[in-house]
Amino acid sequence: MSAPAGRARRVLAATAAAVAGALAVGMAVAAPSTAEPGPTLGQLAAAKGRYFGSATDNPTLNNAPYTAVLGSEFNQITVGNTQKWQYTEPSRGQFDYSQADRIVAFAQAHNQIVRGHTLAWHNQLPGWVNDVPAGELLGVMRNHIANVAGHYKGKVVHWDVVNEAFEEDGTRRQSVFQQKIGDSYIAEAFKAARAADPNAKLYYNDYNVEGIGAKSDAMYNMVKSFKQQGIPIDGVGLQAHLILGQVPSTVRQNIKRFADLGVDVAITELDIRMRTPRDATKDAQQAADYRTVTNACLAVTRCVGITVWDFSDGYSWIPSVFPGEGAALIFDENFNKKPSYWAVYEALGGTRVTTTTTTTTGGTGTGCTATYRVTSQWGGGFQGEVSIRNNDTTALNGWTVQWTFAQGQALANLWNGVATTNGQDITVRNASYNGTIDAVGTTTFGFIGSFSGSNPVPSPITCTRA
Ligand code: G3I
């Protein structure tokens, strides 16, 4: 989507509406502003004993607007490409960690834990691996894992030890490892990883295993048998490259059955793609889908965290692999937060504190400014607060604040003011005791409201002095 972000557009639209309204009634109106302070996704997840992270790749580390978000919003990073075999052992026995080291250093500088990705995968292998004689490949794989996991010992909290080893029907993918080493290669990879870094949590990672089905059943049976045999596996990664409106209904149940086997579960590569361009309906569905996935993870104690497969629609792998699809992430191309971001934010327990401010002149003087905030929100209800600032250097005597609840919100109870409702239009006048506001002073009223669906901050909100 090349247009400005949704929030930017809403602000622009609100500004235009406010200005048009002001012109109609001969008032001076300042542009509404939004402020969205509050915790990051990483902080919210940490408060729930989890992480919320993003994958990243080396080219984007030179992009300052990108790294500003990457470094602040998340408490976990996955190395999206450059720990793969192609980069770390481009020639047999020649190891190169220069690129992945940059990502790990970035994470360490920003107090972010690192998921390593990935030690044994059929994809992004250098050509020489295919030419290794069958009798040598187990040794080559063990050596690769010993070196790479050894290099990152103590720096990587989780390793995706083996990636994408199953076909959709639950049979083994005929990778070079499967063909030349046989079924045992997965267990051997886990043993080698444990030996190289005994403290890293070792994961099997795959896609299309988010719900219950043939492929996740195969993964389940493998984990069960590994646990019975004492093969060192600590977790399973559900990649979660999902499609709009198609979150499997059994995600939570699936996470739970793995947890019940005694392994951790992580959502490792979350994105939810749509046909582009975005629109409000698709954004709302995507927000609901992100909320479903987040809630499914939160419902199971052993679901330890969620990683998005990069965070901005401008840096997603989707459009290059699925032409005509994209917009799969939680920030748009310009690093504006999308509805999907706020869905995750709220699912993680965050309260979206938004404000809108309008200055109106009325009566004499320079007028007053009303600032509307949602101070807390819960299922179907919220508490709001409006502060009224007298902008003049003389006291004002009497004020009126007005807004429209365009999304069908309703006022339940209001204090420190007298409310009149006319359909969705709300008018609040001062109470008998707070109509006088000193020069450049402030007064506040509060209220409880209800809503269904979304609860955006109304805009414009006008303040008129008597
Ligand atoms: O680095 C080269 C660059 O020098 C060259 O100019 C450019 C030209 O195409 O290619 C660059 O390499 C690309 C690499 O990403 C880095 O951007 C490869 O072509 C491209 O194939 C590679 O794609 C990666 C893909 O894995 C490979 O299968 C994606 O970035 C990466 O996001 C994706 O990640 C995988 C996970 O590892 C496993 N699960 C699925 C997920 C999505 O496919």
Could you read off the pLDDT of 271-320 as tens digits, one per residue?
999 999 999 899 999 999 999 999 999 999 999 999 999 999 999 999 99
Span from the CA of 27 to the centroid of ligand 1 (angstroms): 55
Inform me whether the pLDDT recorded for 378 exceeds 80. no
Confidence of residue 41 (pLDDT cuts 50, 70, 90): very high
Q: pLDDT band at 456, cuts 50/70/90?
A: confident
pLDDT band at 439 (very low <50, low <70, confident <90, very high): confident
Contact 428, 411 (CB under 8 A): no
pLDDT at 108 (0 to 100): 98
The CA-CA-CA angle for residues 274, 321, 73, to 5°, reads: 65
* Mean pLDDT calculated for residue range 427-453: 91
Please check whether residues 310 and 395 belong to one and the same domain. Answer: no
pLDDT of residue 416: 94
Same domain, 342 and 403: no
Question: Strands (DSSP E) along 294-349, which ranges?
Answer: 303-308, 325-326
Indicate if 36 belongs to the active site: no
Residues 372 and 333 in one domain: no
Residues in contact with 38: Cβ distance below 8 Å, sequence separation at least 6, in sequence order? 350, 351, 352, 353
Relative to the CA of 309, which ligand 1 atom is closest? 32
HSE (side-chain half, CA atoms, 13 Å) at 398: 4
For residue 98, how far is its CA from the centre of ligand 1 (angstroms)? 17
Instruction: For 339-393, give the DSSP string.
Output: HHHHHHHHHTT-----EEEEEE--SSTT-EEEEEEEEEEETTEEEEEEEEEE-SS
In a shared domain, residues 379 and 311: no
* Closest Cα to atom 19 of ligand 1: 124
The predicted structure's pLDDT at residue 12: 25
CA distance 402 to 418: 12
- Same domain as 186, residue 126: yes
Q: Give the pLDDT confidence score for residue 360 in this predicted structure.
A: 65
**What is the β-pairing status of strands 76-79 and 241-243?**
unpaired
Q: Is 164 a catalytic residue?
A: yes
Instruction: Give distance in angstroms: CA of 81 to centre of ligand 1.
Output: 6
How many structural domains is the chain composed of? Answer: 2
pLDDT at 8: 28
Q: Residue 366: which pLDDT band, with cuts at 50, 70 and 90?
A: low
Name the residue of 58, 60, 78, 81 to mutate for ligand 1: max ligand atoms within 8 A of Cβ. 81
Domain end among 347, 375, 399: 347
Residues 409-424 have pLDDT tens digits of 999 999 999 999 999 9
Beta strands 410-415; 442-450: pairing state: antiparallel
Residue 128: is its pLDDT beyond 90?
yes
**Mean pLDDT throughout 361-386?**
76
CB-CB contact of 226 with 187 (8 Å): yes
SS3 call for 436: strand
Question: Which tens digit of pLDDT belongs to each residue from 395-409?
Answer: 889 999 999 998 889
Using the Cα atoms of residue 78, residue 81, residue 83 and residue 85 in order, give the sign of their dihedral. Answer: positive
Per-residue model confidence as pLDDT tens digits over 183-225: 999 999 999 999 999 999 999 999 999 999 999 999 999 999 9
> Residue 365 maps to which CATH number?
2.60.40.290
What whole-number percentage of the chain has pLDDT above 90?
76
243 and 120 assigned to the same domain: yes
To which H or E segment does residue 227 belong? helix 214-229
**How many whole angstroms from 123 Cα to the centroid of ligand 1?**
10
Contact 162, 190 (CB under 8 A): yes
Q: Are residues 341 and 362 in the same domain?
A: no
**What are the residues whose beta carbons fall under 8 Å from the beta carbon of 428, sequence distance 6 or more?**
386, 400, 401, 402, 414, 417, 418, 419, 420, 445
- Residue 115 host element (H or E): strand 113-121
Pairwise pLDDT comparison (103 vs 387), residue with the higher score: 103
Please check the confidence at residue 35 and state whether its pLDDT lies above 50.
no
Does 362 share its domain with 288?
no
Looking at per-residue confidence, does 14 or 56 come out higher?
A: 56
What pLDDT does 381 receive? 80
Prediction pTM value: 0.76
DSSP 404: E
Strand partners, 160: 117, 203
pLDDT in tens, 257-278: 999 999 999 999 999 999 999 9
Among protein residues, the one with the nearest Cα to ligand 1's atom 43 is 317
Question: Would the pLDDT of 37 be above 80?
Answer: no
pLDDT tens per residue, range 52-86: 999 999 999 999 999 999 999 999 999 999 999 99
- What's the 354 CA to ligand 1 centre distance in angstroms? 38
**Same-domain status, 73 and 168:** yes
pLDDT band with cut points at 50, 70 and 90 for residue 39: confident
pLDDT at 440: 83
- Tell me which residues have their CB closer than 6 angstroms to ligand 1: 57, 80-81, 123-124, 163, 207, 239, 269, 317
Which pLDDT belongs to residue 374?
Answer: 83
The pLDDT value given to residue 376:
73
Residue 73 and residue 53: Cα distance in Å, rounded?
8
Tell me which of 347, 364, 387 is where a domain ends: 347
Instruction: For residues 134 and 280, state if they share a domain.
Output: yes
Give the span between the Cα atoms of 366 and 384, in whole angstroms. 26
Mean pLDDT estimate for the chain: 89
Do residues 329 and 437 share a domain?
Answer: no
Answer with the one of 297, 331, 347 that is the final residue of a domain. 347
Write the DSSP symbol of residue 337. B
Domain with 412, as residue range(s), is: 355-465
**Which pLDDT value is given to residue 5?**
32
Please check the confidence at residue 234 and state whether its pLDDT lies above 60: yes
Active-site hit among 73, 89, 188, 269: 269
Assess whether 270 and 367 both reside in one domain: no
Q: How far apart are CA 161 and CA 440, in angstroms?
A: 63
Residue range 323-353, pLDDT digits in tens:
999 999 999 998 988 999 999 999 999 987 6
Give the CATH number for residue 300: 3.20.20.80
Please tell me the predicted confidence (pLDDT) of residue 363.
52
Q: Which of these, 266, 64, 42, lies nearest to 157 by C-alpha position?
A: 266
Exposed e or buried b for every residue in 362-371, given b needs 16+ CB within 10 A?
beebebbbbb
Q: What is the pLDDT of residue 392?
A: 84
